[in-house]
Amino acid sequence: MSHAMSELWRWIPPLLYGLAVVVYGRRLRLPGADGSAPWVGPVAVAAHLLQLSSLSWSQGRLPFGTMWEALSLSTLVLSGAYLLVERMARSTALGAPFFFLAAVGSSFAAGNNDPPRWPVLVQSTLFAVHVALGVVGIGLLAASGLLAASWLLLYRLLRGRRFGEFTRTMPDLATLDRLFFAVSSLGTILLACAAVLGLVWMRTFHLAVTPLVSWKMVTVLLVLVWYAAIPVLRQRRSWSSSWISWVGFLGLIPLGVMIWTGTRAI
């Protein structure tokens, strides 16, 4: 693949995700647009998967040689998780915010095309599993944050009796709550497994713990504690679904800090 073609190919996923944002946003504004361009979401996800697959094939390695590539893979997981959520919830109302975050994440990844810095990756299955679990966990936690935000928005609209196209097409509050809890729980478990495997990998290869790596560990621990608190809070009657959803939504902040730290840790 030529350099110019490679540069263009990197920007196809964010462009398609941006198109998906427009299409899904139009469905919310126009009552008769529910069936407009139903292919755009799956095509964007498929193109992103094809891009990462071609990267693996052309360079002979797995598609996470840098943290930016790992971010791209997490974005793919996020958008793929949305397609599953859309099918389970039988609603397209969540498409615009999910694909907007996917467009932002894939744009950052496309704009930081650093050369791979992890040559040990191709020698270590342990590292590959660590990163794979980590990026899936991050993608699911980001998805849970958007589900929590959707719950809060729908709850506010219903309390204010502001019924419109958005409230009509959204899943009900109970469905959003179940999806949020399931996705956040699975994401937390996968990220915790990835963190443990990362420590084992560093010990196996006798890697030094630099100050930036230490900060990354701290941010990972913060994210795990934050999201692990959600099932505990759900058991307490003093914590309403609204407060718990705020915890899930605000969890995007430490998650973003963890991703930002990770791009500079190695």
84: nearest Cα among 136, 37, 153: 136
Per-residue confidence (pLDDT) for residue 29, from 0 to 100: 65
Per-residue confidence in pLDDT tens, the chain, 266 aa = 444 445 677 888 999 999 999 988 877 666 555 555 678 889 999 999 998 888 778 777 677 667 777 788 888 888 988 888 888 877 777 888 889 989 998 998 888 876 665 555 545 677 778 877 888 888 889 889 989 998 998 899 888 877 766 677 778 898 889 889 988 999 999 999 999 988 888 888 777 777 777 888 899 999 999 999 999 998 887 788 999 999 999 999 999 898 888 766 55
41-63 in b/e burial notation, b at 16+ Cβ within 10 A? beebbeebbebbeebeeeeebbb
Q: How many CA atoms lie within 13 A of 248 on its CB side?
A: 37
CA atoms within 13 A on the CB side of 190: 20
Note the pLDDT of residue 119. 55
Q: Which two tokens stand for residue 108?
A: 């950052």
**Alpha helices, DSSP H, located in 160-237:** 165-169, 173-204, 211-234
Question: Quick one: pLDDT at residue 227?
Answer: 95
